[in-house]
Chain A
């Protein structure tokens, strides 16, 4: 007998017709193969290629920021995006809202037995693309599999770290009376795009989710105006909830102008027949910025020069109000409070 070593053959993952099975979560060969042929292949960077359970990187001097987000969006694929890119954008944005430059992401997946590998590949490729465009690397991760019926296809949790440039101090508690409140663009797109695909609704629309990584816009804003005091992205609960959060954190009130808030006509119409208020509908590619009144012109110029900030506008001002009310002057000319979102936004019946 010759002593030659015969090369083993490992059948590659059937990414077209295969499905996730319990073996992929067991930690053995099947798990390793899934990680290698799907995740590492798509995310492809030196850390992942090392094959460790963790990623090591040098930490410079200065302030680090960490953020985490779980993603359970349904449906997984929606007009304008999917759970993959959403999970990258969401955490990149949370890090960016501290004024930090996002560097690395960790991604953990909970997969349901039976989930098509073709869909998983689509999601992972979308994540890879989103990460590349945002300039971040997905350096470590985890995969678990749960039995059929115990998970909704896939849940993704991402955690991100970034570093705050010197001289930048951004905090939700930093808004002061007299400050300007700026919104980077039109609201309501993500929520309506999702709703249009919900089972019982299914209406025709060209509305796309606005999901996007905002770190590029933030970098440009801070380069032109380092004195920005507050940054936040109005995700779940919409613009109204975000403004109320900041008002409470800073112990101030706010006055905003409805006519200054941009809502695309299609979003307006969809909200109208669904009985929704665009102020409470989720966004995934917009931000609120607060700065001193003297700084707002420079800030707006910088924002409008960036593709994600073309429709940036000042929507109001911070006021001295111990009760923390966010008041809005309606297009109609009256005044109303813009309160926290109460429960889940449910439409009216008549």
Chain B
């Protein structure tokens, strides 16, 4: 596959790994947080951790939109389907996330809720067009990557007069989440989560550009390297971070130059600000209330805002007491630190969201890496 296979070349990987090993200072440790779930997945799937020297450690951040989606929001979607007879359209990843009362969207579907998996917001719009007699709600989750398509769907619904279509907007923003982590006591004061730099998200950056990260780099003195999703992208970014740390630099560098520019996709940004506005605060699973970190539909499009249309109230729901997702999402703990990891909490029976989404730190480690926790006798 063009533009993909080249970035999965094992030979090049070994060369980059050798350079990383050569350039890391044996006297110090390097801890980098990959913010984005797609990177967590790539690191696990390709076994990148194994190619890094022992002094370099990756910390999994909260950039998995399914993982940070609070139970209360899924409850809202389930209620729309089961109590209001709405056709709820959702991305596949959200279907299995455990919500209240032992339900998930998949289980609510088994109970008779009309819940349909779609690949994009426009699929949901098509469903609304085909069923003018039914109400259709698109469960809009995701970071800045999926927000522009949702905005376009809302605008299109308005233009076509598709009054039966609305979105349940749970779109969240990347920069405020990074700030929240950097400003957290563990990172700032205690140093118990040492973060030497960030691998910046790939697709989010295509939309927002590399500009927005400059403020963290300067204010918190942490280097940021934006990386693509292929394993060579990630390794190259790690090398660039190691060099910044060695040089004492705190810059924003762009490894994903083939897709990311300084100012990003301004057309997309314009569509988003036309349809959405900032919420003052939004609850993130694991991070608590984060100010100015999420979007809601503007009053001009209120007809297509599910919260307004159905008078939805948000009720926060606490996580299972044994669940350590919150700490894991902030990089404070690792999956293996959680008492229920791999025992009660598995991909088949997930207690928390880190285990449900394949990009969650726990699912990634369980699926791809848990053999490292146990000594394996070679044949």
Contacts and interface: CB of A to CB of B under 8 A. Distances in A.
Do A and B come from the same complex?
yes
Interface of A: 177-178, 200-201, 253, 255, 265, 268-269, 272, 317-323, 325, 327, 330-337, 339, 342-343, 346-350
A348 B41 contact: yes
Given A321-B376, A335-B50, A337-B371, 16 more contacts: A200-B119, A200-B123, A201-B119, A268-B1, A272-B4, A321-B377, A323-B376, A330-B10, A330-B46, A331-B10, A332-B231, A334-B49, A336-B44, A339-B366, A347-B119, A349-B91
B16 to A, nearest CB: 11
B203 interface: yes
Contacts of B346: 342
Interface in B154-180: none
In order of increasing CB-CB distance, the 4 nearest A-B pairs are A334-B47, A346-B92, A342-B347, A319-B379
B147 to A, nearest CB: 11
B282 interface: no
B352 interface: no
Contacts of A177: 379
A343 B371 contact: no
A9 B138 CA distance: 59
A119 B46 CA distance: 45
B65 interface: yes
A265 to B, nearest CB: 7
A322 B374 CA distance: 11
Contacts, number: 114
A349 B13 contact: no
Contact of B46 (A319, A334, A339): A334
Contacts of A330: 10, 45-47
A178 B374 CA distance: 21
Nearest to B143: A350
Contacts of B117: 200, 346
B379 A317 contact: yes
A323 B142 CA distance: 37
Interface in B342-379: 346-348, 357-359, 366-371, 374, 376-379
Nearest to B4: A272
B24 interface: no
Contacts of A348: 38, 41, 92-93, 357-359
A177 B13 CA distance: 31
Contacts of B378: 319-320
A200 B143 contact: no
A319 B371 CA distance: 14
A350 B371 contact: no
B24 to A, nearest CB: 18
A349 B92 contact: yes
Nearest to B377: A320
B119 to A, nearest CB: 6
Given A337-B367, A342-B347, A349 B14 contact: no
Nearest to A336: B368
B348 to A, nearest CB: 6
Nearest to A259: B10
A178 B145 contact: no
13 contacts: A321-B376, A325-B376, A330-B10, A330-B46, A333-B14, A334-B47, A336-B45, A346-B93, A347-B92, A347-B93, A349-B91, A350-B38, A350-B145
Nearest to A317: B379
B379 A350 contact: no
Contacts of B41: 348
Contacts of B45: 330, 336
B10 A342 contact: no
B86 interface: no
A332 B145 contact: no
Contacts of A336: 44-47, 368-369
B95 interface: yes
Contacts of A350: 37-38, 65, 142-143, 145-146, 203
Contacts of B359: 348
Nearest to A274: B119
B221 interface: no
Interface in B38-55: 38, 41, 44-51
B370 A349 contact: no
Contacts of B243: none
**Taking each of B41, B47, B66, B231, which has the highest tally of chain A beta carbons within 10 Å of its own beta carbon?**
B47
Contact of B51 (A178, A333, A349): A333
Contacts of A325: 371, 376
A332 B95 contact: no
A349 B46 contact: no
B131 interface: no
Nearest to B379: A319
B8 interface: yes
A160 to B, nearest CB: 31
B118 interface: yes
Nearest to A323: B374
A247 to B, nearest CB: 12
A320 B378 CA distance: 7
**Taking each of B46, B346, B347, which has the highest tally of chain A beta carbons within 10 Å of its own beta carbon?**
B46
Contacts of B203: 350
B333 interface: no
Given A350-B142, A350-B203, A342 B348 contact: yes
Contacts of B46: 330, 332, 334, 336
Contact of B368 (A317, A337, A347): A337
Nearest to B9: A332
Contacts of B298: none
